[in-house]
Structure 1
Amino acid sequence: MKLVQAIQRATEIAETLHGRRIKGDLRSRLCAACFAVSQQHHNSLLILLAHTPPLQATAFALLRPLTESAMRGLWLSHVASDEQVQKYIQSGTKLDMASMMTAVGKAVGLDAHHAIYKHWHSLSAYTHTGEHQVQRWLLTDSIEPCYSASELSELLKLSCGIAELSLQGVLTISSIRQTGSPVVTT
């Protein structure tokens, strides 16, 4: 997927979500907040790639929090018990991301562990300035970013896929239109 297409799709997603009413219960509001954070990470990633010069290292670093926020929203929406929802608002969840993805996958029929978690080490390395991030700066005699076209294409593909998951998550919790319901803004 090309950057211009990804930006256009992100704009379409934002237009679809802007002003959409969601259910007013705590679970739905928490989910919407997670999905909104995910959308902001996605849009920020695209802005970083569109910057001149592209800020690729930071764009790659955002992929993990983009994924985490979407997965937490899906977990809250499809897996978490009422008690877990209450605990989440107070102190987060103690579940590791692998367990969360496995539980979400079982609930929605998605092999999230295979599709996403198998890349978790790499996502973490990009976020925490690990080997995958630093290696991209040492490919020439100069210290400069050297991300391949295929790596950038994969970044766009995965980030856009996560943005689509977040969109579907919001659409799921916004099926009821009530006066006074919280409004999603992007």
Structure 2
Amino acid sequence: MEIEKYCQLIDFIEREVDGIKGEIEGIGNKKSLSFHNLALDHARSIVILINKNSQSSALALLRVLYESSIRGCWFKYCATQDQIESFIENDHLPKLKKLVKEVDEKMGFSGILDTIHNNDMSTLCSFTHSGVIQLSSNFNGKTYKNYYTTEQIEGALEFAVFYIRISFMEIISVASNRNVELVHSNFETHLTSALNGTKTVG
């Protein structure tokens, strides 16, 4: 996904999320939306960092965006009351791989989330924890600067958008002052445009 298209998609999301009203019942659901809001916050931060030529820091946010989205889904669809209380009291959750597997099953992703996790987690960790991928992309043997390719950045943005979509849809689903079906439709139009490189209005 082109950076400009990613920015346009984030702008659309922020316009739709701004001023949302809705009744949220249950501590698990409230925590869920907090996590999804964190995911969108990380999504916006990626834009800011890339525009400041701080690609390494932008990519380091991919894992926390991903974890925030998965945790948001898990709290809504999977977590027991005991697990919710354990998190509140001890900041403890099951391992991420377990969360992913449970969310995949509960939300009907048919193994897609589990496959993505298995394929991409090591790369996400390298980005976040200053691993080999980060180091090799910041030094060419002579000079220290960002050497990420356009393909690397655009691939990372497509990964981010997969989970941004999940978190955005979860947030919009509680809105009482939005035409949820229309927002969903408009988002999919923007997303398709972004992935195909075409223009949209609005």
Distance across 2 between alignment mates of 1:31 and 1:117 = 24
Partner of 2:130: 129
- Name the structure 2 match of 1:20: 20
Q: What does residue 186 of structure 2 align with?
A: none
- Partners of 2:60 and 2:127 within 8 A in 1: yes
Match of 1:6 in 2: 6
Which has the higher mean CA deviation after the structures are superposed, 155-164 or 59-68? 155-164
Pairing of 1:58-69 with structure 2 (within 5 A): 58-69=57-68
- TM score, norm. by length of structure 2: 0.81
Contact 1:101 1:117 in 2 (8 A): no
Partner of 1:164: 165
- Structure-to-structure mapping, 1:96-111, within 5 angstroms: 96-110=95-109, 111=112
Counterpart of 2:20, as a letter, is R
Count of matched residue pairs: 174
Deviation at 1:91, TM superposition (A): 2.0
Q: Which has the higher contact order (CA 8 A, sep 6+)?
A: 1
Within 5 Å, which residues of 2 pair with 1:63-78? 63-78=62-77
Give the letter for the 2:8 counterpart.
Q
Deviation, structure 1 residue 140: 4.4
SS where residue 20 of structure 1 aligns?
coil
Q: Take 1:32 and 1:11, find their aligned partners in 2: how far apart are those partners?
A: 19
Residue 155 of structure 2 aligns to a residue in which SS? helix
Structure 2: distance between partners of 1:171 and 1:116: 25
TM-score normalised by length of structure 1: 0.87
Helix, strand or coil: the match of 2:87?
helix
- CA distance in 1 between counterparts of 2:9 and 2:103 reads 25
Q: CA separation in 2, counterparts of 1:140 and 1:169? A: 45
After alignment, is 95-104 or 109-118 more displaced? 109-118
Paired amino acid for 2:106: A
Local SS of the residue matching 1:141:
coil
Q: Which amino acid aligns with 1:10?
A: I
Which runs of structure 1 show a deviation greater than 4 angstroms over 4 or more consecutive aligned residues?
none
Asked if the contact 1:79–1:107 (Cα under 8 Å) also holds between the matched residues in 2, the reply is yes
Quote the sequence identity (%).
19
- Compute the RMSD of aligned alpha carbons: 1.6
